[in-house]
Copies of this chain bind each other. A is one copy, B any other.
Amino acid sequence: MSLVQQMVEAHPRPAAFDTARLVACIEACFTCAQTCASCSDACLGESEVMVACVRRCADCSDVCVATGRILSRQTEFEPAVARAIVQACRAACEACAAECERHAHHHEHCRICAGACRECERACADVLEALG
């Protein structure tokens, strides 16, 4: 059982929706926040800077941090805020994955980052389905 799942289950207030989807999305958000921070910087460090990728990854890392934290909170859950930030996270992950995929065959960091973004995008879609 992952630390995230342990924390969700140890919380005095129950998860507001399906625990498995909540846990998967929190994990994907923090993983993607790291991967995007790293990929943004790696794209900046290449001999030919990949400008769009630096930007898309920076945005995605910012949204993932906010989303991961908000979903980690189970006290006084507010569906409208959760839905809106998860939608933003899905959009940021989609845009970042699309850009990283264009460079995935040349740059391993883009390939890995695109994968993390797609996983987070899917996890967000699953949460949105659960939120109704």
Contacts and interface: CB of A to CB of B under 8 A. Distances in A.
Interface of A: 3-4, 6-8, 10-13, 26, 30-31, 33-35, 37-42, 44-47, 49, 51-52, 54-56, 58-59, 61-63, 65-66, 68-70, 72-76, 78, 80-81, 83-85, 87-88, 90-92, 94-95, 107-109, 112-113, 116
Contacts of A45: 11-13, 51, 74-76
A125 B32 CA distance: 25
Contact of A10 (B12, B42, B80): B42
Q: How many copies does the complex hold?
A: 4
8 contacts: A11-B41, A45-B51, A45-B75, A51-B75, A55-B76, A56-B76, A62-B66, A87-B88
